[in-house]
């Protein structure tokens, strides 16, 4: 998937995206999306609290998110939690952010 890797900007912040040609889907880094929408200092901790606040999301987390190999911002390849567009929209539903609607428009 390395050839299908991209970093796109949303409101000046980086979002890592990988295209899976086999499944014909784009996968977005969940931590990048949460960072963009929340401006959280620690997006990983925000995700933990998000999952604790939303039991239904937490229950389906393993179905919504999948480990996908992406290039980290330090240039190394790592598996990160990623979700397709449908999964990202489900996660966005649980984030109280004014940026959610603009992100939905951006991702299409």
* 60-90 confidence digits (pLDDT tens): 999 999 999 998 878 889 999 999 999 998 9
At residue 1 the predicted structure's pLDDT band, cuts being 50, 70 and 90, is very low
Count of helices and strands (H, E) across the chain: 5, 5
User: Which domains does the chain possess?
Assistant: 2-97 (3.10.260)
Task: Quote the pLDDT of residue 22.
Answer: 87
Q: Model pTM? A: 0.82
At residue 32 the predicted structure's pLDDT band, cuts being 50, 70 and 90, is very high
Residue 77 neighbours by CB under 8 Å, 6+ apart: 2, 69, 70, 71
Q: Does residue 87 contact residue 64 with C-beta atoms inside 8 Å? A: yes
Residue 53 neighbours by CB under 8 Å, 6+ apart: 94
Question: Does residue 40 register a pLDDT over 90?
Answer: no
């Amino acid at each position: 998937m390395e050839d299908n890797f991209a970093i796109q900007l949303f409101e000046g912040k980086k979002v890592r995206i990988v295209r899976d040609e086999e499944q014909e889907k784009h996968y977005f880094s969940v931590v990048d999306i949460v960072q963009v929408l929340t401006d959280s200092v620690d997006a990983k901790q925000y995700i933990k609290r998000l999952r604790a606040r939303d039991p239904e999301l937490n229950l389906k987390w393993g179905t919504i998110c999948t480990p996908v190999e992406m290039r980290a911002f330090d240039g190394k390849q790592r598996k990160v939690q990623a979700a397709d567009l449908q999964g990202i929209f489900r996660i966005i539903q649980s984030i109280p952010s004014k940026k959610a609607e603009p992100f939905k428009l951006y991702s299409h």
